[in-house]
Structure 1
């Protein structure tokens, strides 16, 4: 798991862009926002992991197979870089985890009888709510 993350952080391309929104001179002059680009095909992931990563990335995955993450929450480049790298590693780690298969639950005879009895009881309560006959 850490192998894929370390490979990804080694081949990721960083570019710094100006942030949007309020902030005055700092936002207009300093390129503090970080944009990470990672070519997913360079990671050579197995097909199930690739499909999970594709689903997790959503619209952040381009048609060329690049994941584009933009971090602009903080005022400094270093903090935004750390945030973007942390988000990328979390995304890759989530894709590595294989989801648990759901096992069909089985209800025993006593449980079935209890459920049917509760349904019948609820039905009689609702049936008693009809119009009152005088």
Structure 2
């Protein structure tokens, strides 16, 4: 069971994890042990609420395929258990990021004081540049 929030949990059958060989340097042992984890999570088949599913499918994340499957590869650690936990944490963070509602941006106007400060700075810069010219 993966706890997303107080009310939302994912069952073990919804998350498919397979052990694969890790990439990169690591000596001869990396060629023998399957310590990396390949996690697959099908959004459409899951028991997530419809709102979560819609928002996840609307994300433009490279980890989500066009079929709606989240693919996470965890190979940062040397042990399979730590990589499993890392993959589950990353899936949990991805789903939690969808639940956060973005605040509406209210456009603001610059204050009168900030406008005058900006114009004073421009005038000062203009005078210093004009004094750099050739003296006649």
Shorter-chain TM-score bucket reads 0.7 to 0.9
Given that residues 40 and 71 in structure 2 are in contact (C-alpha distance below 8 angstroms), is that contact kept between their aligned partners in structure 1?
A: yes
Given that residues 43 and 53 in structure 2 are in contact (C-alpha distance below 8 angstroms), is that contact kept between their aligned partners in structure 1?
A: no
Deviation, 1:126, is 1.6
Given that residues 40 and 65 in structure 1 are in contact (C-alpha distance below 8 angstroms), is that contact kept between their aligned partners in structure 2?
A: yes
Deviation, 1:14, is 0.7
1:115 corresponds to: 118
Q: Any gaps of 5 or more consecutive residues in structure 2? A: none
SS at match of 1:59: coil
* Structure 1 runs (4+) greater than 6 angstroms displaced: none
Q: What is the 5 A alignment of 1:1-134?
A: 2=5, 3-4=7-8, 6-7=9-10, 11-41=14-44, 42=46, 43=48, 44=50, 45=52, 47-48=54-55, 50-51=57-58, 54-55=59-60, 58-133=61-136
What is the Cα-based RMSD across aligned positions, in Å?
Answer: 2.4
In 1, Cα distance between equivalents of 2:116 and 2:28: 72
Deviation, 1:46, is 5.6
SS at match of 1:106: coil
